[in-house]
Amino acid sequence: QVQLVESGGGSVQPGGSLRLSCAASTHTGGTTPNPFCMGWFRQIPGKEREKVAISYGDGSTYYAASVKGRFTISHDKGRNTRALQMNSLKPEDAGMYYCAADLVRANCLRNVFESWGQGSQVNVSS
Q: Which of 61, 44, 47 is nearest to 97 (CA)?
A: 44
Query: What is the average per-residue pLDDT within 21-46?
Result: 88
Q: Is the pLDDT of residue 30 over 80?
A: no
Return all residues near 103 (Cβ < 8 A) that are at least 6 apart. Answer: 2, 33, 34, 35, 36, 114
Cα distance between residue 90 and residue 110, in whole Å: 30
Lowest-confidence range among 27-36, 67-76, 80-89, 110-119? Answer: 27-36
State the first-to-last Cα distance of the chain, in angstroms, to the nearest integer. Answer: 40
Q: What is the pLDDT of residues 38-94, one digit of tens each?
A: 999 999 989 999 999 999 999 999 999 999 999 999 987 777 899 999 999 999 999
Q: What's residue 69's pLDDT?
A: 98
Q: State the pLDDT at residue 29.
A: 65
34 pLDDT above the threshold of 90: no
- d(CA 64, CA 99) in angstroms, rounded, equals 15
Which residue stretches of 1-126 are H helix?
105-109
